[in-house]
Every structure is written in C-alpha cells, then in structure tokens.
Homo-oligomer: A and B are copies of this chain.
C-alpha cells in the first residue's frame, strides 16, 4: 500500500464476526469495488482467529467517503453485514495529520 503524504482521511472499521459464511467473498468484492471509487487511496485489513477484525481504508476527502458509504452495492453489503455477519462494529472517520514509517533493511 503506497499512500501519499498526509493530510488524508482514514476510515477505521473495528468489527466482530458472528458468522463468516460467504463473508470473505463479499469482503474481497468490497475491496475491489472501493479501489474503483473516486478519492480511494488504499486499504489494509487484519482479522484474527476469534473473528476480531480491523480494516483501515484511506481516502483523499470526506465527500469520497460519503459517496462510498452510499454506493448501491456497498449499501447492500452493509445490510447483509448487519443481518448475517457482524456481532458488532464501530466506524470512525479520522483525519490523518502525521505519518512515520519503518522498513527493516535487508
């Protein structure tokens, strides 16, 4: 994931799965679809064996985040998320001000 220098926006999505039937397929499809949206900068997602996950997606501005939230296919996935997959989730919209990176030399 190659991001520009801050400032940009991050959507922090914490979630707990109660059921993962067909979940991965939809999650992957949403990443593919997000990549095509205006203002999308990148996404990183981690889920552990207990179903706890954190996904952080990056966006250039608030209006792009709002458009993605309202995308029709994404809306349907959000509905299925509440009906089938998630025990709970928390979404935070945040403005990234600073960034530091470290890569171990080979």
Contacts and interface: CB of A to CB of B under 8 A. Distances in A.
Interface string A72-104: 000000000010001111111111111111111
For the complex of A and B, 10 pairs with smallest distance between CB atoms? A94-B94, A54-B54, A93-B98, A94-B96, A88-B103, A91-B100, A95-B95, A46-B54, A92-B96, A46-B46
Interface of A: 6, 10, 12, 14, 18, 44, 46-49, 52-54, 56, 82, 86-104
A92 B12 CA distance: 12
A98 B92 contact: yes
Contacts of A104: 18, 82, 86-88
A91 to B, nearest CB: 5
B56 A54 contact: yes
A88 B100 CA distance: 11
